Amino acid sequence: MNSSVNKVVILGGGTSGWISAALLKKIMGSTIAIELVESDDIGTIGVGEATIPPIRDLNNVLGINEADFLRETKATIKLGINFENWKSQGHSYLHGFGAAGKSLPFCPFHHLLKRANQLEDDSHLWQYDLNHLCAKAGRFAQIKSHDPIMNLPYAYHFDAGLYAKYLRKYSEKIGVIRTEGLVEHVEQCSTSGYIKSLHLKNGRVISGDLFLDCSGFKGLLIQEKLRTGYEDWSHLLQCDRAIAVPSERLEQTLPYTRSIAHTAGWQWRIPLQHRNGNGMVYSSSHCSEQQAIDTLMNNLTSKAIADPKVIKFQTGRRYQQWNKNVLAIGLSSGFLEPLESTSIHLVQSAIVRLGHLFPHHGIDSLLVDEYNKQSALEFEQIRDFLVLHYHATERTDSDFWQDMRHMKIPDSLALKIEMFKHNGRLTNTKNDLFTEHSWLQVMLGQGIVPQDYHPLANSMSDEKLAVMLRKIKEIKQEPIDKLPTHDEFLAMFCS
């Protein structure tokens, strides 16, 4: 299509619709008009409350004041995810957002630690990790230091409903038009198959040049209209149901998400300022709905404040995220289960990608193909990271965990695991959302132990290595007791 793109229509006002509206308007300014259509009758999925650090880049680009954001969305700080019972029952580790220790050029820190462990030292990676130390002490502040080893990357937990409202207010202020109404009919061009307009129940017709399908799992435009198709990954990520239930807030607000593995899935606990988000993700082939509800309700640490809600999903992705003049964003584009809180990030990165490849002179197959290639790779890299958590386990106590251990994993992941096992090297795939620090923590946390270390770790004497490790530990430990507790921080910062 060679006509220029002047108007973008967004179908859906959930988290993905409003992030898309806010960010795209901020990037493109007055060069395009944006109209968002949402139906109050349908509502939103109402989950999706844990994020990863790039959300702070999103807030910075939007110029959002952090204190205002935390106050309005009842947000808390997230330093990582604590994985409990994943490797084996009773075992836990934190996948923190930071980097442990201090690396030498060409020799990442864990090689030095591996060598030290072969000598007298029995310390472990997390003792050198600021995110872990702050998380376990329940303390937080925005540490300002020029020394990169004192970085304390963080993200947020927030109330999904309040977040969408917050972004709606923001978007409308910068010129996004919001229209309430139920889309009943979608008009397509009879020759090109491009979407021309959305027909609402109240008789209004919304036309546009480019459509962002943020309509949730069903994908009203990308699937129901354009029949784009879906690559099913449920043989790799076998959980296909979630039960979600909010509960009363706890006395102490943890600065991390908890992910607790059970016999056929796992449970999340997300601390917010006014309540807790809880849920159980499970495989319906290994566990009945009632069993999952019972497991979740029996493992709440505070009183439920609503009935449990069942959500069905299928892991995978659309074959094309961009098809004709429709881009699928959010749940309509595919779904990777919430284990590493990646879905909201995928919305952000989809809009950044669209910003780079925006078809202002008309939709061009070169732009579409590039967009689809980048999106496919992003989904696959995250998929591999999630599969690692399930596959690399010592658990044998249920059919579910036996199946996880024995499933055939993607070659890309098998290679990564083998490489790490043999010599501790992590293949850093270009543009992977998860850096080698993340892969390292989950590999070690799930019990994959390298047999060897990089020869550069031998470049200092035993004594020098011991002194260096002791110093790093002391430096990282030093600020912890001086930091406010997470609750003190929230009270001070938001007041």
Ligand X SMILES: Cc1cc2nc3c(=O)[nH]c(=O)nc-3n(C[C@H](O)[C@H](O)[C@H](O)COP(=O)(O)OP(=O)(O)OC[C@H]3O[C@@H](n4cnc5c(N)ncnc54)[C@H](O)[C@@H]3O)c2cc1C
Nearest residue (CB) to ligand X, 48 versus 101: 48
Residue of the chain from 5, 15, 95, 438 that contacts ligand X (CB under 6 A): 15
As a whole number of angstroms, the distance between CA 131 and CA 143 comes to 11
* In the complex, minimum distance from the CB of residue 202 to ligand X, in angstroms, rounded to a whole number: 11
Q: Residue 408: what are its φ and ψ, rounded to 5°?
A: -80, 125
Residue type, 232: D
Segment contacting ligand X (CB under 6 A): 105-113, 209-217, 359-367, 382-390?
Answer: 209-217
Nearest residue (CB) to ligand X, 304 versus 475: 304
User: Beta-carbon neighbour count of residue 288 at 10 Å?
Assistant: 11
Give me the residues paired with residue 205 across strands. 199
Indicate whether 49 belongs to the interface with ligand X (CB under 6 A): yes
Segment contacting ligand X (CB under 6 A): 31-39, 320-328, 467-475, 486-494?
Answer: 31-39
* Active-site pick, 25, 78, 102, 416: 78
Segment contacting ligand X (CB under 6 A): 8-16, 258-266, 379-387, 452-460?
Answer: 8-16
As a whole number of angstroms, the distance between CA 255 and CA 237 comes to 27
* In the complex, minimum distance from the CB of residue 337 to ligand X, in angstroms, rounded to a whole number: 7
| Residue linked to tokens 């059970």 | 262
Residue of the chain from 5, 10, 39, 95 that contacts ligand X (CB under 6 A): 39
Segment contacting ligand X (CB under 6 A): 39-47, 105-113, 146-154, 459-467?
Answer: 39-47
Which parts of 155-194 interact with ligand X (CB under 6 A)? 160, 182-183
Segment contacting ligand X (CB under 6 A): 15-23, 86-94, 186-194, 258-266?
Answer: 15-23
Indicate whether 279 belongs to the interface with ligand X (CB under 6 A): yes
Which parts of 298-357 interact with ligand X (CB under 6 A)? 311, 313, 330-331, 338, 341, 343-344
| Count, residues in the chain | 495
Q: What Å distances lie between residue 302 and 262, 270, 357, CA to CA?
A: 19, 12, 47
* Catalytic residue check, 78: yes
* In the complex, minimum distance from the CB of residue 285 to ligand X, in angstroms, rounded to a whole number: 18
Nearest residue (CB) to ligand X, 201 versus 471: 201
Residue of the chain from 9, 13, 129, 282 that contacts ligand X (CB under 6 A): 13
Structure tokens, 189: 């061009």
Residue window 397-416: x/- pattern of binding to ligand X, with contact defined by CB under 6 A = --------------------
As a whole number of angstroms, the distance between CA 265 and CA 260 comes to 9
Residue of the chain from 5, 45, 226, 239 that contacts ligand X (CB under 6 A): 45
* In the complex, minimum distance from the CB of residue 406 to ligand X, in angstroms, rounded to a whole number: 26
Residue window 229-258: x/- pattern of binding to ligand X, with contact defined by CB under 6 A = -------------x-x--------------
Residue 156's nearest CA partner among 18, 86, 59, 26 is: 59
Report how many residues bind ligand X under the rule CB under 6 A. Answer: 36
Nearest residue (CB) to ligand X, 20 versus 420: 20
| Residue linked to tokens 């080893």 | 149
Rg (CA), the chain: 23
Residue 61's nearest CA partner among 29, 97, 102 is: 29
Name every residue whose Cβ is closer than 8 Å to that of residue 468 and which is 6 or more positions away in sequence. Answer: 102, 112, 460
Residue of the chain from 5, 9, 16, 368 that contacts ligand X (CB under 6 A): 16
Which parts of this chain interact with ligand X (CB under 6 A)?
12-17, 37-39, 42-45, 47-51, 160, 182-183, 214-216, 220, 242, 244, 279, 311, 313, 330-331, 338, 341, 343-344
Give me the active site residues, please: 78
